[in-house]
Structure 1
Amino acid sequence: MSSLAGTTTGVRLIRSPELAQSVDYAYAAVADVPVRAIWAAGACPLDADGATVAVGDVAGQTHQVMRNLVTALAGAGAALTDVVKTTVYVASSRQADLGEAWKVYRDYMGDHDVPSTLLGVAVLGYNDQLVEVEAVALITERASG
């Protein structure tokens, strides 16, 4: 089993050499330190007034979703680099739409290629919603104060 370098939060992302290395996400995440766990509700493409933004635009909605996820995590004392698992939902049966959302998601996640599931679904909860991302994050007890 091989792993990426640990972060300051104590989270190690694991890539098994027996599995495909061409994917842009880790296969597992391990936390070897006492941590505080954060479960973020699915981040939605809503503005501060609760209106769905970028209607009909998968990439535009994904940008809003990721900005909202960053804000939600910050409220819990975490950042995207503390995330250990995500699920990316796209209301579409077209793989191109899933790929478009994934590209924006990956831009925000950068080198932090946590285990993630990307899937197309029939419908999401808000009017005109195309994208949602939920996340689990871990932060060390030392970092959480």
Structure 2
Amino acid sequence: MNAKITRVNPDQLHQTPGYHHITVVEVCRTAYLAGQCPLDRHGSLVGLGSLDMQIDQIAANALTALAAVGAQPQHVVRSVIYVRSNDTDVLSVAWRRLTSSVIGPAFTSASTLLGVAQLGFGGQLVEVDLTVALPD
């Protein structure tokens, strides 16, 4: 039995730019992906100074991680996006790049976008944390 995933935007809450305020998952197994970073398979930072290149690497890494547990982007039920910036325009650029990437469907569920002062690797501009309702 596949998990039933329902995404809800109550009429009484503000409209969103693509995500849903609430994601309900009926009984299933879940996977919690570690924060996906813009690192290649050798652990080297990709795209120093380039938000777009780093997001593309994160999307590729997340797609690989999802596939490793038999999931696809539409199985993501919660995402948190961390961007090293306090500029709302930069946050918007990151959101648009992620939602149009190969993992774009992941961001239609409950999602949070945060501007932060620092991430774990020197030169890292973005990180994505995903929770997944695994299909059977």
Q: TM-score, normalised by structure 2?
A: 0.90
Tell me the equivalent position of 2:17: 23
Structure 2 distance, partners of 1:124, 1:111, is 22
Instruction: Select the structure that is richer in strand.
Output: 1
Which residue in 2 is equivalent to 1:128? 123
Aligned-pair identity in percent equals 34
Paired residue type of 1:73: L
Name stretches of at least 5 consecutive residues in structure 1 with no aligned partner: 1-7
1:52 aligns with 2:45: yes
1:103 is displaced (CA, Å) by: 0.7
Larger Rg: 1 or 2? 1
Instruction: Report if the CA contact (8 A) 2:75-2:106 is conserved.
Output: no
Structure 2 counterpart SS, 1:66: helix
TM-score calculated relative to the size of structure 1? 0.85
Letter in 2 for 1:97: V
Q: Partners in 2 of 1:138 and 1:91 — Cα distance? A: 28
Superposed CA deviations along residues 61-80 of structure 1, whole A, max 9, x for unmatched, are 11111111111111111111
- How many Å apart are 1:23 and its aligned residue? 3.0
1:81 aligns with 2:74: yes
Residue of structure 1 equivalent to 2:112: 117
Letter in 1 for 2:82: Y
Q: Which runs of 5+ in 2 are unaligned?
A: none
Structure 1's 74 and 45: CA in aligned 2 closer, same or farther, altered over 3 A? Answer: same
